Amino acid sequence: MAHTYEYPRPALTVDCVVFGFDGAGLQVLLIRRGLEPFLGAWALPGGFVHMEEDLEAAARRELEEETGLKGVFLEQLETFGAPGRDPRGRVVSVAYFALVRPDRNPARGDTDASEAAWFPADKLPELAFDHSVILTTALERLRGKIRYQPVGFELLPESFTLTQLQALYEAILGRGLDKRNFRKKLGAFDFVVETQGFAGGSHRPARLHRFDHDKYEALRSKGFLFEL
């Protein structure tokens, strides 16, 4: 027997904040809307949740449909449901944030996104809906998260220099870090491992390092807390 609901039901969407790091600064992937409302405006990738989908599946589907991204680090951020946030009606959005490498994920628009592009996180265009609020919330989450969990390694090449790693943290935190103190703290963690390789292009090439996921997980299972 079908149920009749006394109260109207809002629509449900997902929105995705996609962060990248180009070696110098933090980047955000945006799509240009190909449909009303906000036709032609820049926005976060996202869309409506299908009735048979769970939330993360919907977020991953929208990311792949609108930007081509798949198999990326994805984490639920927060729910945004202010009345009037969407001119189409009462729409609640569950936001996610993703961490990817722009060099491996070139921007491309698809389905209802007429275009996609990477933008510097500190030089963003005006965004549709309440997406500027969602993006600010995601950046605050990322800044807090990298202090206790090494998610930043999702944004780096498989092999990287310590200078690149410090530049990543500075880009996310929005401030400079003392090189000596940063490397001293980093030296206490044996999951940042030296490789046999060196970065090219210098008469004193820098040693390349890699992140050892297995060592980190082994430490974390014993109650280890990552702090930088």
Mapping DSSP onto H, E and C, the string for 86-128 reads CCCCCEEEEEEEEECCCCCCCCCCCCCEEEEEEEECCCCCCEC
How far the first Cα of the chain sits from its last, in Å, is: 57
The whole-angstrom separation of Cα 131 and Cα 29 is 12
Q: Which of 115, 154, 194, 217 is catalytic?
A: 115
Which residues touch 48 (CB under 8 Å, ≥6 apart)?
A: 11, 12, 13, 58
Which among 157, 170, 135, 136 has a CA at the least distance from the CA of 30? 135
Cβ contact 79:122 at 8 Å = no
Token pair in block for residue 20:
């990248």
Q: Residue 87 class from Cβ within 10 Å (0-12 exposed, 13-18 middle, 19+ buried)? A: exposed
Going from the C-alpha of 2 to that of each of 5, 54, the distances in angstroms are 10, 22
115 is catalytic: yes
Residues taking part in catalysis:
115
